[in-house]
Amino acid sequence: MRLLLQCARWPLPENDNAAIHALLAAKESSDAVTQMLDQFNGNAWGQIQMLRSILEQTDRAFHNFAGAVVQSGSDMAAQAQGFNDILMTIHSSAETLASATERLADLAEDIGARRTAPKREAIG
């Protein structure tokens, strides 16, 4: 670009139309490239801002997800503790029922053992 501007300052003969047209074409081309680069830079900053926004939204989504996972884990732990308590109660009740059943069986055996055949008395 600097070289083009330096060339534009050189005095050119008036009858050298080809050189003048070449310089004008080069300047127009340079201006077009400069405009595209400016537009690209503007678009690049816009894209960077959009990517930052997407990154922030993604970050918030991951934080919310992590919070939900932690809460879910806490809920599951509480629920598991509740199931554990229920199982302990059922186990205790089963032991009590087994003990009561054994006592009833022992009582039934004692009743059967005490019961003796009635003695018949002889008449006569």
Residue 20's Cβ-count burial label (10 Å; 0-12, 13-18, 19+) is: middle
Taking only the tens place, the pLDDT of each residue in 29-70 is 888 888 887 777 777 778 888 889 889 999 999 999 888 888
Domain layout of the chain by residue ranges: 2-112
Residue 124 pLDDT class (50, 70, 90 cuts): low
pLDDT at 2 over 80: no
Q: What is the mean pLDDT of the chain?
A: 79
pLDDT of residue 1: 45
Half-sphere exposure of 100 (CA within 13 A, CB side): 6
**Whether residue 9 has pLDDT greater than 60:** no
Prediction pTM value:
0.41
Count of other CB atoms within 10 angstroms of residue 80: 10
Q: pLDDT at position 96, please?
A: 92
What does the alpha-carbon distance between residue 41 and residue 46 come to, in Å, rounded to a whole number?
9
Q: For the chain, how big is the Rg over CA atoms in Å?
A: 50
94, with CB counted inside 10 A (0-12, 13-18, 19+), is exposed
Residue 81 pLDDT = 87
Please determine, for residue 10, whether its predicted confidence score (pLDDT) is greater than 70.
Answer: no
